[in-house]
Amino acid sequence: MTSVILCGGSGTRLWPVSRGLMPKQFAPLFGDESLFQRTVKRNGAISDSTLIVSNAEQYFLALDQLEAVDRKDDLFLLEPVGKNTAPAIALAALSILPEEIMLVVPSDHLIKDQAEYERAVAEAAKFAQSGFLVTFGIKPKSAETAYGYIEAAGSEVVSFKEKPDKNQAEEFIKRDNFYWNSGMFCFTAGAYLNALKAHSGEILTACEAAIKNAKKEGQLIRVAHNDMAKIPENSIDYAVMEKTSGAKIVFCNPDWSDMGSFESLYNELEKDGNGNTLSSAITINSKNNLILTQKRQIAAIDVENLMIADTADALLIAKYGSGQKVKKIVKALKMKNSDLPNLHATVHRPWGTYTVLESSDRYKIKKIIVKPGRRLSLQKHLHRSEHWIVVSGTALIAVEDKMLLLRPNESTYIHSGHKHRLENQGRVNLVVIEVQVGEYLGEDDIVRFEDDFNR
């Protein structure tokens, strides 16, 4: 069996903790481990191999997190743009043998009962060996409007229900044959591709062309942008599961949450005697509050049922129960062309990280950390100049046709329009302060000539 882990999605309902380039599955929501790391470990224990379907932008972030849990041999399939779950699963299915059983799971779910999870997967695998497409149903604990529902008759799927309103959800949970749609599936690669051909053949045709043209480099499959753009966008539910007559459902109760809102996160975090989540916050006469903070001290007085999420560059305060409205904030920020829905103050790159320390219309100050043995692309900027000051480590810098070796407290200036590159040939992190000055300071003001990471 191959575990196919889907890493798409931006987790907009957990903004500002979750961002486009650091979605919730990679955020350390529970101590030092991310949901992605937990998913890889959970499924690695019951699978022969793992195939991770990821956005190309998050590839090196995922690699770093895999290394942290001592996994280095997992196969990656990189999508330059997301096209929802039906194409993602099809691309994965086309990359393995037709008879191989696929256990398809999102990377951002929390499952705490491993034994119950393994029982359900074993049951699903038996159905999959007989050619069925299996979905997993979770027994509802409450009338949730954030989940889709599945109506079942024994192991047969009767119908799929979209996210209901409150009244519909309450009706569903009164009946014993309605289950939360977990978004997890099990089938052979061939069975899924046959069903996709029968019900959404245009997706399969485009995916076959994309895989044929994809670059295969060891454990990496990289789909071309032009091929990905031609694939119709659709979910597996709409494209296949709601149309097929070969669907089965396996019921399970593995202490599951899709972590799709701050309310679900609050339910999973440890709390003090007053119902406030454990953090460095100081609370006085306050109870039942979700408080997430990274560095700043938060103090709460005489407040109840609030959700407070504080990051270096954004603060969210909402009433408990209003978590589904957070995505409206993200939409409003996008309309303002803000970077906040996509970027944290600290941004992960294949070569390391950069942190925006100060930003204005005409200047920006960053802290750049380059990992040992890594280097930035050979590049130039059209609208800004840069001043680099080495804080620690040793920097090898190329500027036009010159090579410079800078040590701590040494600096150099790079004119706009000049080709340049920053490299760390040492064994410790290179830390550089970068001061940008110019008419336009956007991250898209970059022309790459060479890049170690095929960007």
Kindly tell me if the per-residue pLDDT of 9 is higher than 80.
Answer: no
Q: Which amino acid is at 430?
A: L
Return the pLDDT at 28: 85
Least Cα distance to 141 among 63, 253, 237 occurs for 253
- 422 contacts: CB under 8 Å, gap ≥ 6: 368, 370, 375, 376, 388, 395, 396, 397, 430, 432
Return the pLDDT at 249: 97
Residue 53 lies in a domain: yes
Claim: this prediction has a pTM higher than 0.85: yes
The sign of the torsion formed by the CA atoms of 161, 165, 168, 170 equals: positive
Q: How far apart are CA 120 and CA 138, in angstroms?
A: 11
Return the pLDDT at 21: 85
Return the pLDDT at 146: 83
Q: How far apart are CA 78 and CA 91, in angstroms?
A: 10
Kindly tell me if the per-residue pLDDT of 434 is higher than 90.
Answer: yes
Return the pLDDT at 384: 96
Peptide bond into 16 cis (omega under 30): yes
Return the pLDDT at 455: 77
Q: How far apart are CA 449 and CA 3, in angstroms?
A: 37
**Same domain? 193 vs 314:** no
Residue 385 lies in a domain: yes
- 63 contacts: CB under 8 Å, gap ≥ 6: none
Return the pLDDT at 194: 97
Taking only the tens place, the pLDDT of each residue in 327-371 is 999 999 999 999 899 988 898 898 999 999 999 989 999 999 999
Q: How far apart are CA 345 and CA 226, in angstroms?
A: 31
**Same domain? 64 vs 181:** yes
Which residue in this structure is represented by tokens 């481990």? 33
The sign of the torsion formed by the CA atoms of 360, 362, 364, 365 equals: negative
**Same domain? 234 vs 273:** no
Taking only the tens place, the pLDDT of each residue in 148-200 is 999 999 999 999 998 898 899 999 988 889 999 999 999 999 999 999 999 99
Taking only the tens place, the pLDDT of each residue in 64-84 is 899 888 887 889 999 999 999
Average predicted confidence (pLDDT) for the chain: 94
**Same domain? 97 vs 145:** yes
User: Rg of the chain's alpha carbons, rounded to an integer?
Assistant: 24
Return the pLDDT at 333: 96
Least Cα distance to 405 among 422, 381, 417, 419 occurs for 422
Would you list the DSSP string of 212-273? HH-EEETTEEE--HHHHHTSPP--HIIIIITT-S-EEEEEE-SSEE---SHHHHHHHS-B-T
The residue out of 257, 277, 301 marking a domain boundary is 257
Return the pLDDT at 152: 94
Least Cα distance to 35 among 104, 107, 106, 105 occurs for 107
Q: How far apart are CA 393 and CA 213, in angstroms?
A: 41
Range of the domain at 416: 346-450
**Same domain? 221 vs 363:** no
DSSP-derived letter for residue 124 is H
Backbone angles phi, psi at 56, to 5 degrees: -60, -30
**Same domain? 180 vs 268:** no
Kindly tell me if the per-residue pLDDT of 10 is higher than 80.
Answer: no
Residue 131 lies in a domain: yes
Kindly tell me if the per-residue pLDDT of 11 is higher than 80.
Answer: no
Tokens of 131: 């050619």
Tokens of 182: 């977990």
Residue range 450-455: average pLDDT? 86
Number of domains into which the chain is organized: 3
Q: Which amino acid is at 63?
A: L
Q: How far apart are CA 278 and CA 31, in angstroms?
A: 12
Taking only the tens place, the pLDDT of each residue in 275-317 is 999 999 999 999 999 999 988 999 999 999 999 999 999 999 9
Residue range 372-383: average pLDDT? 96
Q: What are the helix (H) ranges across 10-165?
A: 35-44, 59-68, 85-93, 114-129
Residue 247 lies in a domain: yes
Least Cα distance to 39 among 4, 79, 1 occurs for 4
The residue out of 257, 277, 292 marking a domain boundary is 257
Residue range 1-30: average pLDDT? 89
Q: How far apart are CA 346 and CA 212, in angstroms?
A: 37
Percent pLDDT > 90 in the chain is 81
pLDDT band at 422 (very low <50, low <70, confident <90, very high): very high
**Same domain? 249 vs 281:** no
Which residue in this structure is represented by tokens 């937990």? 38
**Same domain? 275 vs 398:** no
Residue 341 lies in a domain: no
Would you list the DSSP string of 345-393? SEEEETTEEEEEEEE-SSEEEEEEEE-TT-BPPEEE-SSEEEEEEEEES
